[in-house]
Amino acid sequence: MITFFTLHLHTIASIVFIFMALSMIFIRIKAADKPTNAKKILIPPLGMSTGFLMFFYQPTHIPWTWAGIAFLCGAVLFSIPLIKTSKFEHRSGQIYLKRSPALVFILFGLLAVRLALHSYIEHFLSIPQTGGLFFILAFGMLVPWRIAMYLQYQKLIKDEKIEPLPTT
C-alpha cells in the first residue's frame, strides 16, 4: 500500500511540475506583448521567496551544503541561458521584453533537464526533500536572471532617456 501511494504521489508531483513549467513558458511568451517596468521584473523573486517557509516543515530539511550547491547550480548553469536570451527593446515610448525564438527551446530544455535530474535525485531523497532542493535550484536560477534583467532595463532607460512606466 505504501509503495502504491508513493508511486501516485510521484506521478502527481511530476504532472503538477510539468503543468506549472508549461504555464510559466506560456506566461513568459505572453509577457512580451505588454510593456514592462521594474516592479514586473523584481516582484517574481520576492513572491517566490515565500516558498522558503516550506523549510519550517521538518521532512523538507536538507543539509546546508546541498542547499548551497543547488542554489549555485541554478545561478551558474540554469540562469545563464535565460540571461543571454532576455533582451529589452524600446517601442512606442515604452520598454518591452524582446521575443527570442531560442527562449522557448531553452525553457523546454531546462524543463527536460530538471525532470531528468528530479527523477534521478528522488531515488536518494524523500519527495519533500527533493521538492525543497529543486525549489532552491529554481530560486537560484530566478534571482540572477531577474537581477540581470533589471540592470539591463535600467541601462536602457538611462541610455534612451525613457520615462519609466509607473509601478502602481
**Three-state secondary-structure class, residue 95:** strand
Cβ contacts of residue 23 below 8 Å, gap of 6+? none
**pLDDT tens readout for residues 16-66:** 777 877 887 787 777 778 899 999 999 999 999 999 999 999 999 999 999
**pLDDT tens readout for residues 95-124:** 988 877 777 787 777 778 777 887 788 788
CB 155 within 8 A of CB 28: no
First-to-last CA distance in the chain? 52
DSSP string covering 112-160, please? HHHHHHHHHHTTTS-HHHHHHHHHHHHHHHHHHHHHHHHHHHHHHHHHH
Q: Give the predicted TM-score (pTM) of the model.
A: 0.80
